[in-house]
Structure 1
Amino acid sequence: METTLRPLEELVRIPAPCPAPQSLAFDGQRLWVGSWETGRLYALDPHSGVVSEESAVPGRPVGSVAVGDEIRILCSEEGDSRFIRRYLPGHGFKQHEAIPCPDDTGSFLAFDGERLWLSQRYNKRVLELDDAGRPVREIPIGEEIVGLAWIDDVLYISTWRGRERGGCRIARVAHNGEPKPEWIAQSPFAAISLARDGERLWTNDFKKNEIAAFALPR
C-alpha cells in the first residue's frame, strides 16, 4: 500500500508569456521561460508580467538553470541531439560553445553552487557533471524526471509516474546523504521544470500555459 502524500501548497500562479512553457530558470529577479512551441526564450518579471528580453533558441529549449550571471539551457537541436548552451542576458547565446549531453540525452538542469546536474528522463536518473560535461556521479530515481532544482544541500525532483500510478510527485535527495529519493508531495498537475526562488519553487503548468510557485514541501 502506498503512502498518501501531502498536496503542494501553491502560492501564486501567473500567465506564461508564451504557449507550451517548457524550460524555466530564476536569476533572482526574472523568470527565464523557454517555449517548446515557439523555440524562444523569454525573460519575465514575475510581479508585473512584463517581458524584458526575448531570444530565439538553437533548436528547442528543454531545461535551464541560472548559473551566476548566465543562464544554462539544455537544447533539443537537429535530430533531437541534446546540448547544454550558455546564454548571456543582454547579449545572447555563445554560438560556438555547446556541451553534448552524456549519451546524447538529457532534459533538465540544476546547479548546486559548483557543478551542473543533468536529468535523463527516460533513463530515470540524475547525473552530476564536471566542467567538461562528463558524468562523475549518478543518482537513480526510478521514475521519469520532469524537473529538478537544488536548494541548499537538497535536490528537489519533479517526476511523472503516469496517471494510473499517481501522476506527478515531488521527491528530494540530500547532497551528501543516501542517494535515494524521499517522496514528499503530490502535484495536481505535471510540474514541468523547477526553479528556485528563495524558499519556494517555480514550475510550469505546461497544458494551461501558466507558471506557478509553491512552498517547499517539508
Structure 2
Amino acid sequence: MNPIKELARYKAPADLPQSLAWDGETLWLGSLANKRIYQIDTEDWSVKYEIDAPGTPFGMVSVGEELRVLCGETEEDFRNIRRLMPGHGFDTVFKLPCPDDTGSQLSWDGKILHVSQWYNQKVLALSPNGGVTKIYEAPRGICGQVIVGDYIYVANTAEEENGDYFLGRIHRESGTYEDVALIPFPARALAHDGTDFYSNHRAAGETVRFTV
C-alpha cells in the first residue's frame, strides 16, 4: 500500500490542532490546547475569525452556512454537538448529545450528520434529534472522517500511540470498507476541499494537505 502524497504542511494557529472542516471557501480548525476555533484563509494561511468553543472541540463539520462542533464539556467530558454561526458565535440553546455519550469526529453528506466513535470503530448516521439511523463499521479506531461522493473517508489506527495510521473509505450504500493509503503520522481529523485532503499532525502542531 502506498503512502499519501503530502502537498504542503502549515503551522497551525494554536498548539494541538484537532478538528478540521472545509466550508467551501475556507478551512476551520479547532485546538485542544486553548479550546478555540479558527477560520483560515488557505491562500495565505491567515486567520480570518476565531472564537472560544463551549468545550474541547474534538470534531467539526460545515453544514451549509453554519458549522457543527463536537465538544467535550465539563470535567466529566460529556460529548455534545454544538451549533456555530460564523460571525455570530455559538447558539447558546442548541445542544445535541452524542449517542452513548461518545464521539469525536463529524461529517455531513448534505442532509445527514455523521459522528464517529473512535474506540467502538463505528460511524453513526444521525436523525435530526440525534437518533441513530445507520451504523458503519471500520476495522480500526477512527480519528478522522469526511464524506466525499459515495464514500466516508476515515483516518484510522489500531494502536493510537505507536501504530500505523491508514486512510480508508467506507462505501455509504454497501457499508464495505477498503484501505486506500498509509498516513505516515498520527493523524487527527479529515477535511476535503473538493480536490485535496487535509489532516492534522497534532503532535507537530501542523496541518497537512495531501492527495492519494
Residue aligning to 1:193: 189
Residue aligning to 1:73: 69
Give the % identical residues.
39
Q: Distance in 1 between matches of 2:195 and 2:170?
A: 17
| Structure 2 counterpart of 1:113, one-letter code | G
* Structure 2, unpaired ranges of 5+: none
Which of 1, 15, 22 aligns to 2:18? It is: 22
Q: Distance in 1 between matches of 2:25 and 2:195?
A: 14
Question: Cα offset for 1:165?
Answer: 7.9
Residue aligning to 1:123: 120
Q: Secondary structure at the match of 2:43?
A: coil
Question: Cα offset for 1:214?
Answer: 1.0
* Structure 1, unpaired ranges of 5+: none
Question: Cα offset for 1:180?
Answer: 2.4
Matches within 5 A, 1:50-69: 50-69=46-65
Matched, 1:168 2:165: yes
Q: Distance in 2 between matches of 1:106 and 1:69?
A: 23
Which of 43, 46, 51 aligns to 2:42? It is: 46
Q: Distance in 2 between matches of 1:155 and 1:135?
A: 16
1:33-65 CA deviation, whole Å, 9 max, x = no partner? 100010111111112121111111011100001
Q: Distance in 2 between matches of 1:155 and 1:168?
A: 16
Q: Distance in 2 between matches of 1:96 and 1:30?
A: 26
Matched, 1:97 2:94: yes
| Structure 1 counterpart of 2:10, one-letter code | I
Q: Distance in 1 between matches of 2:15 and 2:89?
A: 21
Question: Cα offset for 1:142?
Answer: 2.7
Q: Distance in 1 between matches of 2:136 and 2:112?
A: 15
Q: TM-score under structure 2 normalisation?
A: 0.96
1:14-35 CA deviation, whole Å, 9 max, x = no partner? 1111100001111122111100
Which of 121, 140, 145 aligns to 2:137? It is: 140
RMSD: 1.3
| Structure 1 counterpart of 2:102, one-letter code | T
How many residues end up aligned between the 2 structures? 211
Q: Distance in 2 between matches of 1:114 and 1:144?
A: 25
Q: Is the 8 A contact 2:160 2:186 kept in 1?
A: no
Deviant stretches of 4+, over 4 Å: 163-166
Q: Distance in 1 between matches of 2:117 and 2:161?
A: 22
1:110-153 CA deviation, whole Å, 9 max, x = no partner? 11111011100111111000111111111111311000000111
